[in-house]
């Protein structure tokens, strides 16, 4: 394994020190001379450069990271996969792995564990929405920053869920303590595979132990297939029942019994956060055989009231005729007993009603909570995601006149008093100088709308919505809505109209095709070539060949126009000095490949540059994790 410390990659990345050594790659800390920042560079080990399987994994990861952009996924800036050097450049994260944190703490406090797993699930939902299954979720691949932020890393064995969904049965993929049963036996995998691994991670955080442990990896894999883990509450009795149910549902052997998505698991976690005493009605927790009906407490109370009220009611049996020889004294005593019973019955009925009223008043009063005073707090940093405010529905309005810092809550309605749980609190947020208006893209074809939003530096998320009143593929609305002011770089959700019978189609592989071939392939798939946005890029590929295109590896709506990027057949200017080399700056999506050539010229300095002939470098702005290829 060559040590790159002290060397410079492609005349740009100065390697400072080794951060970590993994099974297939080495991660270095480096300085980016062009962007003047510290980065992490993951380089494939020399011995794997000729191994097609490892090279395939690297390229597969580069595809995955090209479509990911999320605050809880490590951001990737650049990838290179030449014949002699393969690496990925990503953001340098100052922190420790979640595994190290668990080892330090033993068990993680419940609120903290919930906070961590929520971020992990949000990152995975983003990846799953892009059709990517991580397949190696474990604490070692999760970075923890000092402020509590989670960063999911290492998509090295990720797969696009729509294509290659089986693991190799003759090689170990993932970490055996965290893999799902379907991974252990080489079955088809999807998003629910990652859900199982998240369940194991949450189990370990709450208990300080792994659900299955053995000195033999094969034994652990068999346990994943056949054995039931010990209930978390048996290890840590402080774990609430509802939270244990969430963990165990995520770890069900049958994928159909698990959460079907990260969003579904997040919904149950939100319910638990609102009510830590909640108990979920999961089907596999109850006897599947019919059971007798058990009345509720209210029904029992009503029945009791009926019973105590019956003596005062008309007798159901006709009264016996009085005996003719009964004395007057006996008759008076009988009448007195009847009056006494009637009074007692009335008193019992009154007491039952009074008790019911008290219960109602108490439950009503206990459902009222104090309005929190939020003025002066920062919405993102101090309010959103905080359990203290989960009893309320927070609605936001923006105050463009306020001089306060962007994101500051300048006033609220109501300001104080008691309200019912679930009541709405309207927060007025200062927009500040860095706020931007959301462009009006209503009615636009969604790929054009996406380009407009991205040009304004917004992140874009697309939700498909059945709507036969709008032309399929056009934007119905956005959230936040058009003309609202939001922070620059905020995520805008576009709701795109689809017909009831319209199903997304996968964008075909266009790499290496000519424009005419790409046009035919797209039309055959029910898509179209966006000729107006065709771009020509400097590349060593044959002139006229496609070297990149939009929506690589994604499914889009029928009729969507796809922009392509075509090689000019010419290389960009070569860098022949050890100063900052000439680089090609592109505005293309992260799926576009460009080529940087570093020629070997007599060096007049002492810099130790690594020179690589015709190494392909694809610059991305995606949030992703590290898995790189090293060169020799």
DSSP state of 568: -
Percent of the chain with pLDDT strictly greater than 70: 73
Query: What is the CATH number for 423?
Result: 3.30.10.20
Q: How confident is the model at residue 360 (pLDDT cuts 50, 70, 90)?
A: low
CA atoms within 13 A on the CB side of 425: 28
Asked whether residue 594 is domain-assigned, the answer is no
Specify whether 165 is located in the same domain as 268. yes
pLDDT of residue 199: 97
Asked whether residue 31 is domain-assigned, the answer is no
Specify whether 123 is located in the same domain as 214. yes
Specify whether 251 is located in the same domain as 346. no
Specify whether 533 is located in the same domain as 483. no
Q: What is the mean pLDDT of the chain?
A: 75
Asked whether residue 461 is domain-assigned, the answer is yes
- DSSP per residue, 139-193: GGGEEEETTS-EEE---TT-EETTS--B--TTS--S-TTT--HHHHTT-B--HHH
Please list the alpha-helical segments (H only) found in 546-603: none
pLDDT of residue 571: 61
Asked whether residue 614 is domain-assigned, the answer is no
Is the confidence at residue 297, as pLDDT, over 60? no
Query: How many of the other CB atoms lie within 10 Å of CB of 149?
Result: 15
C-alpha–C-alpha distance, residues 431 and 120, integer Å? 29
Asked whether residue 591 is domain-assigned, the answer is no
Three-class secondary structure of residue 87 per DSSP: strand
Choosing from 465, 498, 531, the residue where a domain stops is 498
User: pTM of the prediction?
Assistant: 0.47
Specify whether 124 is located in the same domain as 252. yes
- Both tokens of residue 346? 């009335």
Total domains, the chain: 4
C-alpha–C-alpha distance, residues 593 and 90, integer Å? 17
Specify whether 279 is located in the same domain as 151. yes
Higher local confidence (pLDDT), 201 or 414: 201
Structure confidence by residue, pLDDT tens digits, 503-544: 778 888 898 899 999 999 998 888 888 887 788 877 778 888
C-alpha–C-alpha distance, residues 56 and 161, integer Å? 16
Q: What is the mean pLDDT of residues 255-268?
A: 93
Q: Of 120-129, 202-211, 537-546, 554-563, which range is least confident?
A: 554-563
Residue 623 annotated to the active site: no
Choosing from 404, 433, 462, the residue where a domain stops is 433
Asked whether residue 19 is domain-assigned, the answer is no
Query: How many of the other CB atoms lie within 10 Å of CB of 82?
Result: 21
C-alpha–C-alpha distance, residues 489 and 388, integer Å? 27
C-alpha–C-alpha distance, residues 484 and 456, integer Å? 14
Q: What is the mean pLDDT of residues 120-145?
A: 90
| Domain around 476 | 436-498
Q: What is the mean pLDDT of residues 469-481?
A: 83
Specify whether 517 is located in the same domain as 483. no
Structure confidence by residue, pLDDT tens digits, 233-254: 999 999 999 999 999 999 999 9
Specify whether 273 is located in the same domain as 307. no
Is the confidence at residue 353, as pLDDT, over 70? yes
Q: Of 166-180, 211-225, 405-419, which range is least confident?
A: 166-180
C-alpha–C-alpha distance, residues 390 and 422, integer Å? 8
Asked whether residue 328 is domain-assigned, the answer is no
C-alpha–C-alpha distance, residues 363 and 355, integer Å? 12
Asked whether residue 379 is domain-assigned, the answer is yes
Percent of the chain with pLDDT strictly greater than 90: 25
pLDDT of residue 611: 32
Q: Of 29-33, 102-106, 157-161, which range is least confident?
A: 157-161
Choosing from 386, 407, 433, the residue where a domain stops is 433
Top-ranked range on mean pLDDT: pick from 65-69, 238-242, 298-302, 382-386: 238-242
Specify whether 516 is located in the same domain as 487. no
Specify whether 375 is located in the same domain as 521. no
Specify whether 306 is located in the same domain as 417. yes
Specify whether 379 is located in the same domain as 250. no
pLDDT of residue 298: 46
Is the confidence at residue 292, as pLDDT, over 70? no
Catalytic residue among 136, 530, 623, 629, which? 136
Q: Of 234-238, 473-477, 569-573, which range is least confident?
A: 569-573
pLDDT of residue 63: 61
Is the confidence at residue 625, as pLDDT, over 60? no
């Amino acid at each position: 394994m060559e040590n790159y410390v002290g060397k410079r990659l492609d005349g740009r990345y100065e390697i400072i020190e080794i951060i970590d050594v993994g099974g297939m790659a080495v991660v270095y800390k480096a300085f980016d001379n062009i962007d003047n920042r510290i980065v992490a560079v993951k380089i494939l080990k020399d011995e794997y450069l000729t191994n097609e399987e490892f090279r395939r994994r690297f390229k597969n990861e580069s595809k995955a990271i090209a479509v990911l952009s999320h605050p809880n996924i490590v951001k990737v800036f650049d990838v290179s996969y030449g014949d002699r050097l393969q690496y990925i450049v990503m953001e340098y994260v100052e922190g420790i792995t979640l595994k190290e944190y668990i080892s330090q703490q033993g068990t993680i406090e419940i609120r903290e564990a919930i906070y961590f797993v929520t971020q992990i699930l949000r990152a995975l939902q983003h990846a799953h929405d892009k059709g990517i299954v991580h397949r190696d979720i474990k604490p070692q691949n999760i970075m923890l920053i000092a402020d509590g932020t989670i960063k999911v890393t290492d998509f090295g064995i990720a797969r696009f869920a729509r294509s290659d969904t089986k693991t190799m049965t003759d090689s170990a993929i993932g970490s055996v303590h965290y893999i799902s049963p379907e991974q252990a036996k080489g079955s088809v995998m999807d998003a629910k595979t990652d859900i199982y691994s998240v369940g194991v991670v949450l189990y370990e955080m709450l208990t300080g132990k792994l659900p299955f442990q053995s000195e033999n990896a094969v034994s652990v894999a068999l346990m994943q297939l056949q054995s039931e883990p010990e209930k978390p509450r048996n290890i840590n009795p402080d774990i609430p029942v509802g939270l244990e149910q969430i963990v165990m549902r995520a770890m069900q052997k049958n994928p159909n019994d698990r959460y079907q998505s990260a969003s579904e698991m997040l919904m149950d976690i939100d319910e638990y956060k609102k009510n830590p005493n909640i108990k979920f009605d999961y089907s596999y927790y109850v006897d599947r055989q019919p059971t007798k009906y058990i009345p509720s407490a209210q029904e029992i109370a009503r029945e009791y009231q009926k019973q105590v009220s019956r003596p005062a009611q008309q007798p159901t049996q006709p009264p016996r005729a009085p005996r003719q020889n009964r004395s007057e004294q006996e008759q008076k005593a009988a009448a007195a007993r009847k009056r006494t019973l009637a009074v007692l019955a009335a008193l019992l009925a009154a007491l039952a009603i009074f008790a019911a009223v008290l219960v109602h008043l108490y439950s009503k009063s206990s459902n009222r909570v104090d309005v929190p005073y939020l003025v002066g707090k920062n919405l993102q940093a101090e309010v959103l995601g905080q359990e203290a405010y989960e009893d309320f529905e927070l609605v936001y309005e923006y105050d463009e006149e306020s001089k306060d810092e962007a994101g500051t809550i300048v006033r609220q309605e109501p300001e104080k008093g008691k309200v019912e749980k679930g009541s709405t609190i309207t927060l007025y947020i200062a927009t500040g100088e860095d706020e931007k208006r959301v462009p009006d893209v209503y009615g636009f074809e969604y790929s054009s709308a996406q380009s407009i939003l991205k040009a304004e530096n917004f992140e874009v998320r697309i939700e498909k919505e059945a709507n036969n009143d709008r032309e399929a593929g056009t934007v119905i609305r956005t959230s936040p809505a058009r003309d609202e002011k939001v922070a620059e770089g905020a995520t805008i959700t576009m709701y795109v109209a689809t017909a009831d019978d319209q199903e997304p189609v996968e964008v075909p592989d266009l790499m290496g095709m000519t424009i005419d071939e790409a046009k035919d392939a797209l039309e055959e798939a029910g898509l179209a070539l966006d000729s107006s946005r065709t771009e020509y890029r400097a590349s060593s590929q044959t002139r006229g060949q496609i070297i990149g295109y939009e929506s690589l590896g994604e499914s889009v709506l029928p009729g969507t126009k796809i922009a392509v990027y075509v090689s000019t057949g010419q290389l960009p200017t070569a860098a022949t000095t050890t100063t900052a080399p000439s680089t090609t700056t592109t505005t293309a999506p992260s799926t576009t490949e460009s080529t940087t050539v570093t020629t070997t010229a007599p060096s007049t300095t002492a810099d130790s540059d690594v020179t690589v002939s015709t190494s392909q470098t694809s610059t991305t702005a995606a949030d992703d994790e590290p898995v790189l290829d090293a060169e020799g």
